[in-house]
Chain A
């Protein structure tokens, strides 16, 4: 049998983005021996790319804000498919989690009286996002990283998990490999926290990096856990569209929060044309009111550019489709226009949006202080994930926890901007705490896992033995991305999705034949060949769930069922592996709201 290294922890955290680091810090504080494995180097995870801010109703800028408003905004944004208990916990605990970061060294931008400054964002009623210019994610991950390295946590960087080990129905460890030399590693642990992020690499235009291959989703699924809400894949409305090589790179919603407006090729602010009923009372009547809102007038309603992401993305899609797009297939996002309103606008923009300024200047040759940007939707986030208990974040498999993007429940059908950074703090902490408690409650030695390890090692070594004539793994991955984008993208229809299911079968066969050359030392071809299994599993989950939901809601839009169906508001879609190995699609009743929660939602109108 292949040789491997063995590690032992109470709690193993898979992933070192915000959720993973926060979970590790908490589990360690609870007295557990904690190990963290991450696919990349520490501090490089996707959290680093979050720009706009972290949502928490601290109320520093508008003291009318509180957890009730945040809860209600989150539920409305999620079109009421959210787990209401998670939305409540999130809204209540986010302020404390953000303030705690300050105690660990984070330096947020300040209000005039020296407190944490908060900015406007789509779907949030009040200015709620604590931020650092447009590099909030970097500030958060660095704060967590620099705090965690002093907490007796054992970090294993550039280490990828391919299989979870189980015994008597609960998880007992994981099997993986180090990227550097391909050495296998068996990590025994009584509790595992999945904090692996999302699935965006399964689509061709995406803001996500190579890491986002749905690992946590697929590991949990294969270990017998439920996935939920997988039909809800968020396309962020503003990604770069030109030049081609940067297509998909994120343009923060903060641009719109600071007064940026969307226009079509005719110069029209098209977002005023289509305002959903759910938001009619909360949206500005004209451009003037919209401007007053972004400059802090508490009596004004938000401009329609700050409607939820699903809606803005579809409006942009429509403009482009109907021939009113920009030259490279997007629309215009203009922040430069604020020079009509304020003096020193150029300096103001550079100060508020420094990385956007550099990104456009250096990658597209566009000066955003004088010209409009071209933007279009980019695959950004998955609301769906591992179905977890609201209080503990434990999945349906004992000992297996999930937090952050790879968990489902908080965001329902659509996530509000800023709610992911707060999600990973609030539920990262909870996952760490409960994983530690679970692990410390286990007694006795780790059970024998030799057979599972041998199977996993054989599976990992197999690609080198393949016939060298097939398509290489990058080609198969590329074709999967193009197929998913075309057939299970922003606008969906039954016939195309059924084609997608057939395509997934043939892509699966091709991926099993994709040859890998070279050896196991830092070999991206080999890594991609292995990642393909996760991407295919989760692409199937997304497609099956999207076929099942015969309505349009939140991020899921069906051309053949363009309206919301009140009946479909009553269930979430769960995917789990059947005893025959096939993926089962199950409708599960939405978690009922308490009377108090209903009262809060009603009160907020």
Chain B
């Protein structure tokens, strides 16, 4: 179809710059295809993460022309190719090499969150009964493919680097999936308030905008969690009840 100029950020541990490559873009190609083609033609040591190439595993997150996206789900024909295509690694995580960043923060933060704790089974055979409607609420959050694009655009992490005080949108979605799981009995509200920094989120909805799974992160996950935190800790009536020992510890 056409030769297209790709500017790919290359380097190690944040040290480096753009390198230009020209490759042929054919019908239907996605950006990840172009990166692979460049690897095969001229740059076999170009570092990039990918797995499924179908938007299901969330490995190939990057910034394409400044926009955080999955490379496997970005069709070249949707980009202004005559201007060239710029590909950079995600910015909110420590850089490793070329397009690869160190996303271990997300794994550490997840491990701190209290795990699923189901109520006693509903039936003598050890199974539960749940309605489809109740299940769907949490299923929306469980669609998350852990691409961390939401973490990458969240200004609390990206600009303010509050990684030690704030778990970020992905892990609020994870917390919401647990808190709104029909069977779960654990209480994570104090952690969300004190340790996970849910108060830092000021609802700019950048996370929702970039989510490739179209999870309504802010409206359906973060805001309800914020409301629960407010109800539990700042509502005088609830405080009274808590004082009387009516709230789970």
Would B98 and A211 count as touching, CB distance under 8 A? no
Complex interface residues of chain A between 439 and 483 (CB less than 8 A to chain B): 472-475, 478
CA distance in complex: A41, B45 (Å): 19
Would B45 and A526 count as touching, CB distance under 8 A? yes
CA distance in complex: A525, B39 (Å): 8
From A245, A473, A474, contact of B28 by CB (8 A): A245
Closest to B27 in A: A243
* Binary interface encoding of chain B residues 179-208 relative to chain A, with 1 for a CB under 8 A from any of its CBs, else 0: 001111000000000000000000000000
Would B139 and A132 count as touching, CB distance under 8 A? yes
- Cβ of B64 to closest chain A Cβ, rounded Å: 14
CA distance in complex: A390, B126 (Å): 28
A146: chain B residues within 8 A (beta carbon): 110, 115-116
Would B56 and A364 count as touching, CB distance under 8 A? no
B47: chain A residues within 8 A (beta carbon): 521-524
From B28, B39, B128, B183, contact of A246 by CB (8 A): B28
- Cβ of B85 to closest chain A Cβ, rounded Å: 15
Complex interface residues of chain B between 41 and 67 (CB less than 8 A to chain A): 44-59
Would B55 and A114 count as touching, CB distance under 8 A? no
A142: chain B residues within 8 A (beta carbon): 142
Closest to B147 in A: A44
From A210, A475, A525, A528, contact of B50 by CB (8 A): A210
From B97, B98, B129, B181, contact of A115 by CB (8 A): B129
CA distance in complex: A521, B15 (Å): 14
Would B53 and A249 count as touching, CB distance under 8 A? yes
Known contacts A150-B115, A246-B28, A525-B39; decide if A474 and B54 are in contact (CB<8 Å): no
- Cβ of B169 to closest chain A Cβ, rounded Å: 17
CA distance in complex: A116, B55 (Å): 26
Complex interface residues of chain A between 34 and 83 (CB less than 8 A to chain B): 40-46, 48-49
A389: chain B residues within 8 A (beta carbon): none
CA distance in complex: A524, B138 (Å): 37
CA distance in complex: A149, B184 (Å): 18
CA distance in complex: A452, B189 (Å): 52
Complex interface residues of chain A between 513 and 563 (CB less than 8 A to chain B): 516-519, 521-526, 528
- Cβ of A360 to closest chain B Cβ, rounded Å: 11
Q: Is A102 an interface residue when CB atoms closer than 8 A count as contact?
A: yes
From A45, A105, A139, A475, contact of B116 by CB (8 A): A105
A107: chain B residues within 8 A (beta carbon): 130, 135, 138-139, 142, 181-182
* Binary interface encoding of chain A residues 209-245 relative to chain B, with 1 for a CB under 8 A from any of its CBs, else 0: 1110000000000000000000000000000001111
Q: Is B249 an interface residue when CB atoms closer than 8 A count as contact?
A: no
Size of the A side of the interface (Cβ < 8 Å), in residues, is 68
Q: Is B165 an interface residue when CB atoms closer than 8 A count as contact?
A: no
Would A362 and B26 count as touching, CB distance under 8 A? no
Would B130 and A521 count as touching, CB distance under 8 A? no
Residue of B29, B30, B47, B57 with highest tally of chain A CB at under 10 A: B57
- Cβ of B177 to closest chain A Cβ, rounded Å: 8
CA distance in complex: A211, B57 (Å): 13
CA distance in complex: A503, B47 (Å): 30
Closest to B115 in A: A150
Would B44 and A473 count as touching, CB distance under 8 A? yes
Would B59 and A474 count as touching, CB distance under 8 A? no
Would A147 and B55 count as touching, CB distance under 8 A? no
Known contacts A243-B29, A523-B47; decide if A109 and B39 are in contact (CB<8 Å): no
From A110, A147, A478, A524, contact of B130 by CB (8 A): A110
- Cβ of B43 to closest chain A Cβ, rounded Å: 8
Would B127 and A99 count as touching, CB distance under 8 A? yes
Would A209 and B53 count as touching, CB distance under 8 A? yes
Complex interface residues of chain B between 106 and 134 (CB less than 8 A to chain A): 107, 110-111, 115-116, 118, 121, 126-132
Closest to A104 in B: B116
Would A474 and B44 count as touching, CB distance under 8 A? yes
From B51, B100, B145, B182, contact of A138 by CB (8 A): B145
Would A244 and B116 count as touching, CB distance under 8 A? no
CA distance in complex: A210, B30 (Å): 17
B135: chain A residues within 8 A (beta carbon): 107-110
Known contacts A110-B132, A142-B142; decide if A524 and B127 are in contact (CB<8 Å): no
Q: Is B12 an interface residue when CB atoms closer than 8 A count as contact?
A: yes
Closest to B47 in A: A522
Would A209 and B52 count as touching, CB distance under 8 A? yes
CA distance in complex: A472, B28 (Å): 26
4 new A-B contacts, CB < 8 A, other than A362-B75, A521-B47, are A105-B178, A110-B131, A524-B39, A524-B46
Nearest first, the 3 closest Cβ-Cβ pairs linking A and B are: A243-B28, A525-B44, A518-B45
Could you list 25 A-B pairs, sorted by A, with CB under 8 Å? A42-B107, A48-B52, A48-B56, A49-B54, A99-B127, A105-B181, A107-B142, A110-B131, A114-B128, A114-B131, A135-B143, A137-B56, A146-B115, A147-B116, A149-B107, A180-B97, A209-B51, A363-B28, A472-B44, A521-B97, A522-B96, A524-B39, A524-B46, A524-B48, A526-B45
